[in-house]
Amino acid sequence: KDANLATLEVVKYVVKRFGLHMNKRLGQNFLIRPDVVAQIADTADLKPGDPVLEIGPGIGTLTQALAETGAAVTAVEIDSHLLPVLDKTLEHYDNVRIIHGDILKTDIAELMGHKPFKVCANLPYYITTPIIMTLLEERLPMERLVVMVQKEVAERMTASPGSRIYGALSVAVQYYTQPEIIFEIPPKAFMPAPEVTSAVVCLDVRKEPPVSVMEEKRFFQVVKAAFSQRRKTFANTLKAAGVSKDGVAAILADCGIEGSRRGETFSLDEFAAIADAWTRYNK
């Protein structure tokens, strides 16, 4: 029961015993560092009975660390080949529920019983952004998300206005949460080793957004427009989004923002001011 799954020996043994072929397309890289899985689970700060959602348990390496905290673990795995493996590797834990499915097609609110929960996952890198955006946009009753992502994606989540990597993901993540990079993980902590360095980010979900906007949809429309053409001045971005010449002048005058600036330099407050000016102009 007590064998730690997150070691090279155990992962190798499990792979051999079940004749697994790591599916690169599904982003299958398994952690082989007990200290790393423990630190990820620690960051989630779970108490016995706390509901936690794991995405992509793989062979159960992180799942085991989560289960050890006594939390009520629900893990969604897409690859049916891993189901018999998880049955075996986690057989001694009665606080783990494995669900076979695609997280992007799962009704998560329903799955988690419409109650508050945390997310803790070593995400499949090919769909990191869609997963994060879906979880946040659905306004699920999440308190905290602890996710392992590519280091570069973690840096984009926490980037500040004007930086080369500041983008729509930065704004959305910072609108819904307070993100913090907790630590980095080298490729050799995984089997097979991925090509990139990874990082664990802790996203504390905000109770209220940091800026208030009249129409949230408009806010995200402005953000999307600003980053879809990074080289354009903001006045031209608004024109490209279908606003008339007079409209652009009126919106800029209302919010007091220079039309010659580029959208990628705007703070959340500035995006909100523009969105509200646009909303007022449309009324």
Determine the Cα–Cα distance for residues 58 and 237; give it in Å rounded to an integer. 43
Per CB under 6 A, does 56 bind ligand SAM? yes
23 annotated ligand-binding residue: no
Cβ(13)–Cβ(191) under 8 Å?
Answer: no
62 annotated ligand-binding residue: no
45 annotated ligand-binding residue: no
How many angstroms separate the first and last alpha carbons of the chain? 65
Smallest distance, Å, CB 271 to ligand SAM? 30
* 125 or 249: CB nearest ligand SAM: 125
Per CB under 6 A, does 179 bind ligand SAM? no
Cβ(135)–Cβ(129) under 8 Å?
Answer: no
Per CB under 6 A, does 26 bind ligand SAM? yes
The CB-based long-range contact list for 212-217 (8 Å cut-off, 24+ gap) reads: 212/272, 213/272, 213/275, 213/276, 214/275, 214/276, 214/279, 214/280, 215/275, 215/279
Per CB under 6 A, does 201 bind ligand SAM? no
Which one of 20, 44, 57, 156 is in contact with ligand SAM (CB under 6 A)?
Answer: 57
31 annotated ligand-binding residue: yes
Residues at the annotated binding site for S-adenosyl-L-methionine? Answer: 29, 31, 56, 77, 102, 122
Write out the residues near ligand SAM by the rule CB under 6 A: 26-31, 55-58, 61-62, 76-79, 102-104, 122, 124, 127
